[in-house]
Amino acid sequence: MKDLQFSRHRRLRSSATMRSLVRETYLRTEDFIYPLFILEGENKKNEVKSMPGVYQLSMDNLKAEMDEVVGLGIKSVLLFGVPDEKDECGTQAYHDHGIVQVATRYIKENYPEVIVVADTCLCEYTSHGHCGLIENGDVDNDSSLELLVQTAVSQAQAGADIIAPSNMMDGFVAAIRAGLDEAGFHNIPIMSYAVKYASAFYGPFRDAADSTPQFGDRKTYQMDPANRLEAIREAESDVDEGADFLIVKPGMPYLDIVRDVKNNFNLPVVIYNVSGEYSMVKAAAANDWIDEERIVMEMLTGMKRAGADLIITYHAKDAARWLKEQ
Ligand code: PBG
C-alpha cells in the first residue's frame, strides 16, 4: 500500500458540515416558476388525472391557490388558460376578457409583487389544438405570427410581467418584440421557449390545458429530439431577435442541451421540468417505489447544476415546502 499514489476525495465528504462547506449548487425557492391552469366559469377545482396535486382552477379558487403559493415564498407563476370557447383562430387567446388576461389582472391587483409570466401560444384556444393558423393542412408561420403578437400585447396590457412565447413559429421573438415595443411595452421582457422539442413528455399537460392537436402532431414546428446543433441555431436566432431569457424544454432528458445553451449564450437559462416528468415521479411515489422528496430535490438540483438559472416546475410548492423544512 505504501507506494500507491491516489487522491483522497473522501476527505471532503467526511461529515454533513464538510459536505455543505464544499457544495457547489443550491436550490432556492426564488428559482421556481409555478404553472397555473385557469378555467372559465365558477366553483371549479379539477385535479388533472395524470398530474396528482395539479388543478385546473376557476377564478374564485385562485385566491386560495395564490395565498398558498405566496406563503411558500414562490415569486413567479406561469399562466395557462383553459377557455370554454375555442375557434379556428384562437380568439380567446388575445381577447381582452380572455381567461389569462382576467387572471393576470386579478393577480397583479392582489399580489403586485408576484411575477406573472404569460404563456403566449394558441393551442389551448384553437379548435384544432395547433399553435397557429391552419392553411393547407399545416400551421402557417407568418399569419400565425400576427395573432401571437396580438396575444402578447393583450397579455402585457393585462399586466403580465414577462411574455413567454411557446409556439415555435420562426421569427416569433422578432415579431413579438416589435409588437410590444410599438404598443409601448419596451420594458416587458421576452422569455422565449427557444429550444422546444416535439416531446411525448407533454402528454399530461395536454390533459391539463385541453390542447391535444385534433389532427397530426407538432413535428413541423417543434424540434426533433435527436438534434443538438439545431438547438444552438434556434437559441441563436432568438438571441438575435431580442429574447431576454432562453427556455429549454423538456427538462430531464435534455440536460446536455441546457449546458450547451448556458455555455453559448449570456442570457438567463430557464428549464421547463414538464408534465410527463412530473407524472412519472408522482406515479412512482404513489406506489412507494421511490422517495419522492429526495428524487425531486435531486432532479431539481441536477437541473441547476446543468446550467439552469430558473426552473418551471409543477413540483414548486412541494420543493418550496421541503426547502423551508431543511
Ligand atoms: C403550449 C405549451 C405546451 C407546454 C407548455 N406550453 C404544450 C405543447 O407544446 O404541446 C407543455 C408543458 C408541459 O408538458 O408541462 N404550446
Q: What pLDDT, on the 0 to 100 scale, is given for residue 144?
A: 94
Distance 112 CA to ligand 1 centre (A): 26
| H-run or E-run covering 116 | strand 115-120
| Residue 211 grid cell | 390542447
273 lines ligand 1 (CB under 6 A): no
| H-run or E-run covering 55 | strand 55-58
CA distance 251 to 107: 27
Block mean pLDDT (10 aa), the chain, length 326? 91 98 98 97 95 97 98 98 93 94 98 98 93 91 95 98 95 98 98 97 92 90 97 98 98 98 98 98 98 98 98 98 96
Write the residue with the smallest CA distance to atom 2 of ligand 1. Answer: 166
275 lines ligand 1 (CB under 6 A): yes
140 belongs to a structural domain: yes
pTM here is 0.96
Q: What pLDDT, on the 0 to 100 scale, is given for residue 210?
A: 86
- Shortest CA distance to 85 belongs to which of 69, 102, 67, 99? 99
Residue 151: which domain range?
Answer: 25-325
Q: Which of 2, 75, 108, 249 is catalytic?
A: 249
Please confirm, yes or no, whether 324 is among the known catalytic residues: no
6 belongs to a structural domain: no
175 belongs to a structural domain: yes
ipTM: 0.96
19 belongs to a structural domain: no
- Shortest CA distance to 84 belongs to which of 98, 94, 96? 98
311 belongs to a structural domain: yes
- Shortest CA distance to 50 belongs to which of 59, 39, 37? 37
| Residue 47 grid cell | 385535479
CA distance 133 to 222: 15
280: domain CATH number is: 3.20.20.70
232 belongs to a structural domain: yes
**Burial of residue 146 (number of CB atoms within 10 Å: 0-12, 13-18, 19+):** middle
Please confirm, yes or no, whether 249 is among the known catalytic residues: yes
Distance 206 CA to ligand 1 centre (A): 7
108 belongs to a structural domain: yes
User: What torsion do the CA atoms of 137, 139, 140, 143 make, to the nearest 10 degrees?
Assistant: 120
Q: What pLDDT, on the 0 to 100 scale, is given for residue 250?
A: 98
In the chain, count H helices and then E strands: 11, 12
For 224, which DSSP code?
A: P
Number of domains in the chain: 1
15 belongs to a structural domain: no
| Residue 162 grid cell | 414577462
Residue with C-alpha cell 391587483? 109
Q: What pLDDT, on the 0 to 100 scale, is given for residue 239?
A: 98
Write the residue with the smallest CA distance to atom 7 of ligand 1. Answer: 202
The answer to whether the beta carbons of residues 173 and 241 sit under 8 Å apart is yes
Q: Pairing relation of β-strands 115-120 and 162-165?
A: parallel
Buried b (16+ CB within 10 A) or exposed e, 256-284: ebbbbbbeebebebbbbbbbbbbbebbee
The answer to whether the beta carbons of residues 22 and 4 sit under 8 Å apart is no
